[in-house]
């Protein structure tokens, strides 16, 4: 199953990252993941579990799974774990014994402040681990696995990048069809339906909630991020804005595209709109030029933010960019401002081979302008991997 090839690559990466971070053991503890999924399981298992399950990865390359009896067969079939232990009544004894034999100095658990992709362990499950290891030295050796999961998700392998490239291409195909069909009188919902039909025709899913992907905005008075498309009608002389992406073999794309709806009186957007659009393009480009692996995300966000505000535009109330991958918001370091809600994520250095969005926007009297493209970040810089929008497309 090609499905597990990615997980095999990620498990190999994980061993290296454990060594880098000087952590002996990474312990993923999950149960009933259909209800409370742990995003880390996508990286190291590629499926869910029912009973309480532990997945142990060590810095010297051992991989041990401890799962409920009924899950045992499925986990063995993946061949991802050299040892698969099963239990019937309770995971405690076998988990204590297995960890005891490894005698780790540090045990990384899947919790983190601010980084959702590293925070899949529920508080109740944390308390259960604390109870299982009560009275052992291991109870005091727990640490956050954020320093493992963030680079593991961020550093895309060639196989991951190929899927992400395809997810971008498919989204671009759909944007082109939407653009060709835009006309005055269509509602935002009509536009979303055009995109949805193309998603279904290709047997794909959307990168986030179906009902709000694409986000469609037209005309003035847009409350950005307001959610799903509405019955608002496209008018001549207004802007049309889509925020959209699709999932291809488990990997997301996340892009924004803009059109000006030409009318009898106006073949081109007014100067104020052209200027605002150019300011957005410029802010993204200034930031992209300074982006490379190792830089802290808030510094890049600040470049874009200042470029806009210096020109008199209001600052955008979100981050300039986020990592994309298996999740549309893939966690890890953020290209964002140092606001409390982002926790530590804007302070962390950007990982090599990560894929980021660069996105921002401003409101105008003709509608919201929002741009978003994706870049591949390496030690030497950041290159667009989506065809970055540099001109307002003309529709109608």
Binding site for a copy of itself (CB under 8 A): 31-32, 34-39, 48, 50-52, 68-71, 73-74, 87-92, 109, 111-128, 131, 144, 208-209, 223-228, 317-318, 327-329, 331, 339-341, 343
The span from the CA of 92 to the CA of 330, in Å, is: 32
- In whole angstroms, how far apart are CA 364 and each of 2, 238, 240, 274? 47, 10, 12, 10
Residues 6+ positions from 219 with CB-CB distance below 8 Å: 232, 234, 235, 238, 239, 366, 367
Backbone angles phi, psi at 111, to 5 degrees: -135, 150
Q: How far is the C-alpha of 89 from the C-alpha of 79, rounded, in Å?
A: 25
Maximum CA pair distance of the chain? 79
| Nearest to a copy of itself of 146, 237 (CB atom) | 146
Say if strands 367-378 and 354-364 run parallel, antiparallel, or are unpaired. Answer: antiparallel
Assigned token pair, 277: 């659009």
Cβ-based nearer residue to a copy of itself, 84 or 91: 91
Nearest to a copy of itself of 6, 291 (CB atom): 6
Q: Report, in Å, the least distance between residue 11 CB and a copy of itself.
A: 21
**Smallest distance from the beta carbon of 44 to a copy of itself, in angstroms?**
16
Asked if 374 contacts 253 with a C-beta cutoff of 8 angstroms, the reply is yes
Q: Closer CB to a copy of itself, residue 59 or residue 322?
A: 322
Cβ proximity to a copy of itself, 185 vs 340, nearer residue = 340
Structure tokens at 339: 């606001």
Least gap, CB of 263 to a copy of itself (angstroms): 29
Q: Which is nearer to a copy of itself, 74 or 347 (CB)?
A: 74
């Amino acid at each position: 199953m090609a499905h597990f090839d990615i997980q095999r690559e990620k498990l190999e990466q994980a061993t290296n990252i454990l060594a880098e971070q000087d952590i002996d053991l990474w312990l993923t503890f999950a149960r009933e993941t259909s209800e409370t999924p742990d995003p880390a399981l996508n990286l190291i298992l590629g499926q869910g579990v029912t009973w309480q399950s532990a997945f142990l990865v060590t810095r010297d390359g051992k991989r041990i799974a401890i799962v409920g009896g009924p899950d045992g067969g499925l986990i063995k079939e993946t061949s991802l774990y050299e040892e698969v232990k099963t239990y019937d009544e309770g995971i405690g004894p076998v988990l204590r014994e297995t960890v005891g034999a490894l005698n780790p100095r540090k045990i990384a658990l899947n919790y983190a402040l601010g980084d959702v992709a590293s925070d899949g362990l529920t508080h109740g499950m944390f308390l259960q681990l604390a109870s299982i290891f009560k009275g052992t030295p291991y109870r005091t050796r727990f640490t956050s696995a954020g320093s493992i999961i963030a680079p593991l998700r961020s550093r895309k392998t060639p196989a991951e990048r190929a899927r992400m490239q395809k997810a971008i291409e498919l989204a671009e195909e759909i944007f082109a069809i939407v653009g060709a069909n835009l006309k005055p009188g269509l509602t935002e919902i009509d536009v979303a339906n055009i995109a949805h039909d193309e998603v279904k025709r290709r047997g794909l899913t959307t990168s986030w909630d179906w009902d709000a992907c694409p986000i469609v905005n037209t005309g003035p008075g847009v409350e950005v991020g307001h959610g799903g498309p509405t019955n608002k009608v496209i008018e001549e002389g207004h802007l049309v804005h889509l925020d959209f992406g699709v999932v291809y073999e488990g990997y997301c794309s996340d892009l924004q595209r803009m059109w000006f709806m030409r009318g009898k009186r106006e073949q081109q957007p007014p100067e104020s709109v052209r200027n605002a659009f150019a300011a957005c393009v410029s802010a993204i480009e200034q930031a992209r030029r300074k982006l490379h692996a190792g830089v802290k995300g808030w510094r890049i966000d600040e470049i874009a933010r200042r470029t806009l505000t210096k020109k008199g535009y209001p600052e955008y109330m979100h981050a300039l960019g986020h990592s994309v991958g298996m999740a549309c918001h893939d966690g890890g370091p953020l290209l964002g401002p140092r606001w409390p809600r982002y926790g530590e994520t804007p302070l962390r250095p950007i990982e090599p081979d990560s894929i980021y969005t660069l996105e921002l926007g401003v409101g105008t009297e003709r509608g919201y302008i929002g741009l978003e493209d994706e870049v591949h970040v390496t030690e030497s810089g950041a290159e667009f991997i989506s065809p970055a929008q540099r001109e307002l497309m003309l529709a109608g």
